Structure 1
């Protein structure tokens, strides 16, 4: 019996149509995964600039109340920004993630 559609099927846990549909779903999910940080532009220059920014200013530049744990791009990479230290500011996770890719 097929575990998905409950049709009688002699071999395996799924009939051929359900197995094919499951394979298509897996392939679609694999295609829509997020690229790696390196592929999105967060390279060694970003890592060095982030460390310098967080060492220089320990508080979030957006809310000034929580400790900074991330470096926020003033002009996002997706909008033509760079990883230069002039384009970064310290931010806590909630403030940085709520901004998305908007320009400051």
Structure 2
């Protein structure tokens, strides 16, 4: 259950360039946030540059692929949702969510 949190949270990131997190969530650390955020941004960078492989060679370069940064409010909401283990779709208002099963 806790392993799902970083993946859900990554899908709920806001766009900005925050220097530090200061989220105050004891269930996650800044090192973990950095690990998942950097992994996700590296993947997005490869897509944006047209370097990400697919079955026919490489994906076409993306347009307007912005760098993501962590959003503490979304982390909090994602953690609350994960604790219910409902597995259903979530409505976070103007924020989107990526889910996988």
Q: TM-score, normalising length from structure 2?
A: 0.29
Larger relative contact order (CA 8 Å, sep ≥ 6) = 2
Larger-Rg structure: 1
